[in-house]
Chains A and B, each alone.
Chain A
Amino acid sequence: MALLIQTVSSGLLLGGIYALLSIGLSLIFGVVRVINFAQGELVMLGGFFTYILWEQFGLDPYISILAVAPALFLIGVVIQRFLLQPLQDRSANMKIFATFALFIVLQNLALLIWGATPRTVTTAYTSATIVVGNINISVPRLLAFAVALLFIGGLILVMKATSVGRALRAVAEDRSTAELMGVPVTRVFLIAFGTGAALAGVAGSVMAPFTSVFPTVGTLYTLIAFIVVILGGLGSMLGALVGGIVLGVVELLAGTYWDPGLQQVVLFGIFIAVLLIRPRGLFGQAQGTEEIGLR
């Protein structure tokens, strides 16, 4: 029983990280209707910026969010303005190719600039643990989970209670009508992509105390984010949170009780099952949002 409780609690914390990896992608999917193959690379950039701020200035990763998030927001705006906006009215395939090319470019630029060496941040709380009975809870992972809840909650609030949020939701639901209603769609796309990139940067920062960052780490993050977004439902922030947690718990249960070597099989098995059985996901917005513009 103790093993089960430990596995589930560790899975919850892992799921929170997965949710943080994916909310940015979900936002971009939902609003801009673009499959961003470079989302993991944006997390990687956030991780590297965090490492540099820690190494050069001794800045704690959680403090560095104040610099990393705005930096990634700007990078996201630039990507949307100069790469995707010119392709806005082209086919969905063109946009997919563009973000795929971006992933290759960012990864190789990172290799060129920083090399392949993994970088690891060490803080006073990196190996800290809270012990409750037989259950060990990693402090940095708990903090990452708390930050994930904070940002997802904050985003849901913004989406529901602010004019920017209403504009984002309107464009996500029906771009043409939103445009006719006077919503500045181009600016909304810039905000959506920038915010999605900033959230990726935050993920990179909060993971820094317990994972290493290296140029090729982004690939797995992108894959995980895709699975979570499909499971939770495109464009749904709550779906990203629930999807992430479900994925984290199931993955660790499979690894602990079945075979650690099959964890990724389980992840992608869930992915395929959702696509076949309920393609809109757990909290999918509406019929058609699962098509992501691939009409």
Chain B
Amino acid sequence: MDRRGFIKLTGLGGLGLFGIMTTSSCSKDSSGTSPSKGPIRIGAFYPMSGSFALMGEESWRGANLAMKRRNETGGIRGRKVEYVRADIPDVSAATSEARRLMTNGQVRIGIGTYSSALSLAASEVFARSGGSYFELNAVTNQITNRGYESVYKFVVDSEQFLDTTFDFLAGWGAKAVGKPLPDLKIRVVHEDSAAGSSIGRFATTVANSRGVKNIAALPYSAQLTDLTSIILRLRADPPDVVIASSYAQDGVLFARQVKENGLKIPLFAGIGGAHGQRSFGKVLGPVADGVFSVANAQALSNPKFAPGLDDFLKLYKAEYNDVPFAAESVDHYVGASALFDIIDAANGNDDPKEIRKAALQLDIPAGGTAAGWGIKFDERGHNTRAFATIGQWDNGELKAVWPREAALVDPKFIIPFTG
């Protein structure tokens, strides 16, 4: 063999070796985590700073307790669960942090997030980069309507909050107010962000489908420090029911200004969680009595309908020396626990195809989790057994009152903001 031939052969051999090495590395990646004794690592994306920090922290607590509980009981197939945490105060951080954790190969499964906007950003990265993302309590239906096979959502869509609200009105509220459901005068007071606006939009659709025609939306900017004009419009044309979607500070402001202006609202239902935060009841005291809060879960529910809830409350107290600030921690505890079961069913494999197979096979009936709802994902990754529950403030406590199976107490007719 001459020198040229030898160099050619060496070169071809080198290329071949490189090819073999690259292929085996790729196939190792595509088959997911190889059987290993190491921990199962999951990316945990929560806003721990910025304007969502309060609820981001509460949501994280639920996921954290689920991890601790699982590890105490042997982990997943003997392997410990470990979170790789990322602080995502805004959309650009959600995107960059998701990319960072996925690019370095640190994780292939992500959870989070509390906020719909943040969830859309982080889950997009996972879906496009060969990972799986489990959204534990953001509500926009866009999360599972984008056609990605590896993105899943545990809780209801925004419209379903309204379905539950109108079920409640049909089953109890209309009678309490003293009118048939179609005759109710309903006003939807909402802040004008994407979340509030979607509530305003869907409320009219759902109302009309139930025969309620007298419904109108009153949007406002959440930045306003005075809601007098909304209150005065309501006072000029008093409604039977107000459905509200607010942030924490304008929820309190609205309540106070309703009281100041002597407005009597027979039935008030807050959607989305601000009215379910402990601070709402603490700051307003008896003024909050009578307010209904429509949310994914209630921290005080019938234990027979929400098995494991008492256990969760004890875990929460032991870890944080407190009671839950909001029920978001329950959502994340339930969702994370279910995810661990999914990974277990996939034999600890984090490959998106294996995870999907296991996720679609998960079948928990209603009344089978600490949140009360069941879990059964459809082809989109949406949990078809999710539903909202309604709590009512009374004497400083928010207790589940609807659906009846989840209720700890019966709903009471108390005109809110008059205490």
Q: A residues engaging B (CB < 8 A)?
A: 3, 6-7, 10-11, 14, 17, 111, 115-118, 120, 122, 126-127, 129, 131, 136, 138, 207, 210-212, 214, 216-217, 219-221, 251-252, 254-256, 260-261, 263-264
Contacts of B52 in A (CB 8 A): 116
What's the least CB distance linking A60 to chain B, in Å? 17
B221 touches A122 (CB 8 A): no
B226 touches A264 (CB 8 A): no
What's the least CB distance linking A136 to chain B, in Å? 5
A260 touches B233 (CB 8 A): yes
**B233 interface neighbour in A216, A220, A256, A264, Cβ under 8 Å:** A256
B49 touches A111 (CB 8 A): yes
Q: A118-B249, A129-B260 are in contact. List 6 more A-B contacts (CB 8 A).
A: A14-B226, A14-B228, A127-B260, A212-B252, A217-B225, A255-B228
- Assuming the contacts A3-B232, A120-B283, asked whether A138 and B262 have C-beta atoms less than 8 A apart, the reply is no
Return 13 A-B CB contacts under 8 Å, by A number: A11-B228, A111-B50, A118-B248, A122-B283, A129-B262, A207-B225, A211-B253, A212-B249, A212-B252, A220-B223, A251-B229, A255-B229, A260-B218
B219 touches A261 (CB 8 A): yes
CA distance A210 to B221 in the complex (A): 18
CA distance A10 to B226 in the complex (A): 10
Q: Which residue of B lies closest to A253 (CB)?
A: B229
Query: Which of B223, B260, B283, B287 is most buried by chain A, counting CB atoms within 10 A of its CB?
Result: B260
Query: Which of A116, A207, A219 is most buried by chain B, counting CB atoms within 10 A of its CB?
Result: A116
**A212 interface neighbour in B229, B253, B262, Cβ under 8 Å:** B253
CA distance A145 to B195 in the complex (A): 35
Query: Which of B256, B261, B279, B287 is most buried by chain A, counting CB atoms within 10 A of its CB?
Result: B256
What's the least CB distance linking A36 to chain B, in Å? 19
B53 at the A interface (CB under 8 A): yes
User: In the complex, how many residues of chain B place their beta carbon closer than 8 angstroms to a beta carbon of chain A?
Assistant: 37
B21 at the A interface (CB under 8 A): no
A138 touches B233 (CB 8 A): no
Q: Which residue of A lies closest to B280 (CB)?
A: A120
Q: Which residue of A lies closest to B325 (CB)?
A: A117
Contacts of B287 in A (CB 8 A): 127
The 9 closest A-B pairs by CB, nearest first: A255-B229, A118-B249, A212-B249, A261-B219, A116-B53, A256-B229, A138-B260, A10-B228, A120-B283
Contacts of B50 in A (CB 8 A): 111, 116
**A252 interface neighbour in B221, B229, B235, Cβ under 8 Å:** B229
- Assuming the contacts A6-B232, A116-B51, asked whether A220 and B249 have C-beta atoms less than 8 A apart, the reply is no
Contacts of A126 in B (CB 8 A): 256
Contacts of B49 in A (CB 8 A): 111, 116
What's the least CB distance linking A165 to chain B, in Å? 31
CA distance A77 to B259 in the complex (A): 41
Contacts of A252 in B (CB 8 A): 226, 228-229, 232
CA distance A39 to B175 in the complex (A): 51
What's the least CB distance linking B56 to chain A, in Å? 9
The interface residues of chain B, by DSSP majority, are classed as helix
8 Å CB interface, B58-97 against A: none
B220 at the A interface (CB under 8 A): yes
B368 at the A interface (CB under 8 A): no
- Assuming the contacts A111-B49, A129-B262, asked whether A10 and B232 have C-beta atoms less than 8 A apart, the reply is yes
Q: Which residue of A lies closest to B261 (CB)?
A: A136
A3 touches B236 (CB 8 A): yes
What's the least CB distance linking B419 to chain A, in Å? 9
B415 at the A interface (CB under 8 A): no
CA distance A207 to B253 in the complex (A): 12
CA distance A256 to B232 in the complex (A): 6
B225 touches A120 (CB 8 A): no
A260 touches B262 (CB 8 A): no
CA distance A14 to B256 in the complex (A): 15
CA distance A267 to B229 in the complex (A): 14
Q: Which residue of A lies closest to B51 (CB)?
A: A116
B192 at the A interface (CB under 8 A): yes
A261 touches B285 (CB 8 A): no
B362 at the A interface (CB under 8 A): no
B221 touches A263 (CB 8 A): yes
CA distance A212 to B262 in the complex (A): 21
**B260 interface neighbour in A3, A136, A221, Cβ under 8 Å:** A136
CA distance A212 to B283 in the complex (A): 10
B260 touches A264 (CB 8 A): no
- Assuming the contacts A127-B287, A136-B261, asked whether A263 and B54 have C-beta atoms less than 8 A apart, the reply is no
CA distance A126 to B417 in the complex (A): 13
B225 touches A220 (CB 8 A): yes
Query: Which of A17, A126, A127 is most buried by chain B, counting CB atoms within 10 A of its CB?
Result: A127
A115 touches B53 (CB 8 A): yes
Contacts of B233 in A (CB 8 A): 255-256, 260
CA distance A211 to B256 in the complex (A): 9
CA distance A211 to B253 in the complex (A): 7
B230 at the A interface (CB under 8 A): yes
CA distance A207 to B228 in the complex (A): 15
Q: Which residue of A lies closest to B284 (CB)?
A: A122
B232 touches A261 (CB 8 A): no
B224 at the A interface (CB under 8 A): yes
Contacts of B224 in A (CB 8 A): 220, 263-264
CA distance A6 to B235 in the complex (A): 11
8 Å CB interface, B180-232 against A: 192, 218-221, 223-230, 232
Query: Which of B192, B225, B287 is most buried by chain A, counting CB atoms within 10 A of its CB?
Result: B225
8 Å CB interface, B251-284 against A: 252-253, 256-257, 259-262, 279, 283
**A255 interface neighbour in B223, B230, B260, B279, Cβ under 8 Å:** B230
A127 touches B259 (CB 8 A): yes
Contacts of A219 in B (CB 8 A): 223
CA distance A126 to B283 in the complex (A): 11
CA distance A17 to B228 in the complex (A): 14
Contacts of A221 in B (CB 8 A): 225
CA distance A71 to B226 in the complex (A): 27
Contacts of B223 in A (CB 8 A): 219-220, 264
B279 touches A117 (CB 8 A): yes
What's the least CB distance linking B318 to chain A, in Å? 23
CA distance A122 to B279 in the complex (A): 12
Q: Which residue of B lies closest to A265 (CB)?
A: B221
- Assuming the contacts A10-B228, A117-B279, A122-B285, asked whether A261 and B220 have C-beta atoms less than 8 A apart, the reply is yes
What's the least CB distance linking B149 to chain A, in Å? 35
8 Å CB interface, B231-254 against A: 232-233, 235-236, 248-249, 252-253
